[in-house]
C-alpha cells in the first residue's frame, strides 16, 4: 500500500509512484511518501536534506522528500525538477531495499529511472 502525504505547498509531479514501489520493494510493502517542508526535515534530521528514508519494519517504511531543496539543486545535477525528484524517490526506495551508497546503487538508480 502506498500513501502520499503532501505537507509542502510545492507542486508535485504525477509519477507512477506505486508501480516503482512495487518494482523495488514488492507488492506487500506499506510505504508512506511525505512531501515535507524544510522545517519538518530539519526537525527530523537537524539539517536540510533532499531525501530521508526510514525502514520502520521489514515491510513498512517512509520516504521524506523536500521539494523546495530538490528544485534548487536540480540544475547542479543537470536535471529538471521533475527528473531530480523522481531520481531521489528511487534513491529512497533503494535505501529501503537495503542498498547503501555505492557504485552498484548508482547503476541500479540509473536503470530504474530509465525504466529498465
Q: What is the DSSP letter of 38?
A: H
Question: pLDDT at residue 116 above 60?
Answer: no
Tell me the per-residue pLDDT of 56-111, one tens digit each, with 9 for 90 and over. Answer: 988 999 999 999 999 999 999 999 999 999 999 999 999 999 999 999 999 999 99
Question: pLDDT at residue 115 above 70?
Answer: no
Ranges of each domain in the chain: 2-113
What end-to-end distance do the CA atoms of the chain give, in Å? Answer: 23
CATH class of residue range 2-113: alpha beta
Q: What is the pLDDT of residue 16?
A: 93
Average pLDDT, the chain: 92
Q: What percent of the chain is predicted at pLDDT more than 90? A: 79
Starting at the edge strand found earlier in the chain, the sheet holding 2-6 runs 2-6, 30-35, 60-65, 51-57
Distances, alpha carbon 23 to alpha carbons 2, 20, 77, in Å? 13, 5, 25
Distances, alpha carbon 27 to alpha carbons 10, 54, 96, in Å? 29, 18, 14
Residue 10: count other Cβ atoms within 10 Å of its Cβ: 17
Amino acid at each position: 500500500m502506498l500513501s502520499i502525504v503532501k505537507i509542502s505547498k510545492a507542486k508535485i509531479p504525477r509519477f507512477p509512484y506505486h508501480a516503482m514501489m512495487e518494482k523495488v520493494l514488492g507488492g506487500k510493502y506499506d510505504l508512506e511518501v511525505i512531501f515535507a517542508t524544510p522545517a519538518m526535515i530539519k526537525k527530523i534530521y537537524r539539517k536540510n536534506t533532499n531525501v530521508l528514508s526510514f525502514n520502520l519494519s521489514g515491510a513498512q517504511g517512509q520516504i521524506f522528500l523536500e521539494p523546495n531543496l530538490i528544485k534548487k539543486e536540480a540544475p547542479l545535477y543537470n536535471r529538471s525538477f521533475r527528473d531530480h525528484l523522481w531520481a531521489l524517490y528511487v534513491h529512497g526506495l533503494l535505501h529501503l531495499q537495503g542498498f547503501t551508497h555505492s557504485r552498484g546503487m548508482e547503476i541500479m538508480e540509473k536503470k530504474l529511472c530509465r525504466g529498465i
